[in-house]
């Protein structure tokens, strides 16, 4: 199948409706019927304010970003973007053309 690799970058401690935003995104992707999604915590990085964030053992959780990824069709990406817009959430994302499928089928 042809579609896109969709990745959102969210602050690890950012919340929406009382839930961690990365968890909310995964739940919404599941609710929308996406084939799957994953979240990965970064060990370090910087964003638009150019402040370096690193994950240290004694540092409070949530200062680094979480990447939330989906492999989606164009229609699925559109539905997810519409939901995010309706919730008035501002997110940084990357949308990359992708070919996807399953092996051994």
pLDDT tens digits, one per residue of 5-63: 999 999 888 999 999 999 999 999 999 999 899 999 877 666 666 665 555 554 555 56
pTM of the model: 0.83
Domains and CATH numbers, the chain: 2-99 (3.30.70.120)
What is the predicted pLDDT for the residue at 60? 52
Task: Give first-to-last CA distance, the chain, whole Å.
Answer: 14
Residue 31 structure tokens: 């609710």
CA distance 29 to 84: 11
């Amino acid at each position: 199948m042809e579609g896109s690799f969709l990745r959102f970058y969210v602050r690890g401690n950012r919340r929406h409706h009382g839930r961690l935003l990365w968890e909310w995104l995964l739940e919404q992707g599941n609710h929308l019927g996406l084939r799957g999604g994953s979240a990965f915590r970064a060990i370090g990085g910087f964003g638009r304010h150019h402040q370096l964030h690193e994950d240290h053992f004694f540092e409070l959780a949530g200062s680094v970003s979480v990447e939330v990824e989906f492999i989606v069709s164009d229609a699925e990406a559109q539905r997810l973007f519409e939901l995010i817009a309706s919730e008035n959430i501002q997110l940084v994302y990357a949308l990359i053309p992708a070919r996807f499928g399953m092996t051994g089928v």
